[in-house]
Structure 1
Amino acid sequence: MPEETRTPKVLSKDIFQSTIDCEKSKWVNVVKITYKNQLGKDATWESAERTTRPPGVEIDGVGIIAVLEGEKDEPARILLQKQFRPPVGRMCIEVPAGLIDAGETPEECALRELQEETGYYGQIVKTEDGMERSCMMYNDPGFCNTNLHFIHVKVDLMDPRNKKPEPKLEENEFIECFTVPLRDMWQICRDLEKEGYAIDARVGTLAEGFEIMKKWSHIW
């Protein structure tokens, strides 16, 4: 007979002293979590966590699904970015994103980050159920506690402010923006991968969603 299972719960968390001095680390801690598993036994898990989340805030930041709309007959395009990421040693294809500031809503964070990183002014678009943000999503829950909301944003290319977007990047930020048609996103991701780019999971998952809709639209 299998042992009785129980609801697991975290018991404690210890910060590791690793190759990074955690007391001096600006962005991340490496931790060892002690928890009680489904069998009621103590177990441990090694993890990373951001140190940037403001007190009392539930999320680390936002990902921005920014769709550019121009003339009526033009296909909708999604705004993407190219940015070098040292952990993978390659240029990555990403959506605009950023960390939330204290006192900021996810929607406010999205519009601020969009303007800073891309120069575009956006408008929040509500989902079908009237919400302005996605469910809370965890980027890699087996490795870290980082989480975010996706925010849907429309960029009106007819808005005079969006004619010549001027990003306001920080000194250590090097971001190249580009757009692709939503309908071609899956194939473009495959082509970019062949060129040596790393595809961020948020971009790849979004593209896979579009492809799944195409393949199973007959039973949607």
Structure 2
Amino acid sequence: MRIDILSCVPSLLDSFFAHSILKRAQQAGFAEVVVHDIRDYSTNKHRTIDDYAFGGGAGMVLQIEPIAGCIRKLQQERSYDEIIYLTPDGELMQQGMVNRLSLKGNLMMICGHYKGVDQRVRDLFVTMEISIGDYVLSGGELAAAVLSDAIIRLLPGVLNDETSALTDSFQDDLLAPPVYTRPADFEGHKVPEILMSGHEAKIESWRHEQSVKRTRERRPDLLQ
């Protein structure tokens, strides 16, 4: 998979993709993430990419010309399964959506900034609009990083144990059960005996019961 991210502050993403699972995924060739500076496609010598909104009002708007220039250059090099705009008014990001995106080949993500992008970017180029939550960030870079992480970790070969992702929260519309590791007894707080019984069927049954209980207590909406 290749993910191209369009940003006006690309350095914000440098560290995120340079460590841990995302770094190993790229080194092993399972994923490629390329961040593009929208300012490189500015149409003036000052490299400005924003302007005042028509009709007035507070805040600046990202211009269409630099974004369109970057998108069209990338489209000349490859086709994209989705061109995603990260925005608070997009479809709420959920695990099922991430699962579907992990089956794609090439994705492009556009990071908004200021008051967002010129609406014509969304009308002419964007195929998906995604929000990572009902709140507003300074820019779309963090949202692009979150979405990329959620997608890349699902790619075959990225995790050492590929079944790990299948038991994450939300994969079966339930929250994950509690997990424990050594020591078995910490200051009188003991690991449930069932987990040390070695009885696989009973352990799985216990975990399912705990998932349902935790979901009912914390996210009853998922059980709907």
TM superposition score normalised by structure 2: 0.22
Instruction: Report which of the two has the higher share of strand.
Output: 1
Which structure's CA Rg is the greater one? 2
Per residue, is there more helix in 1 or in 2?
Answer: 2
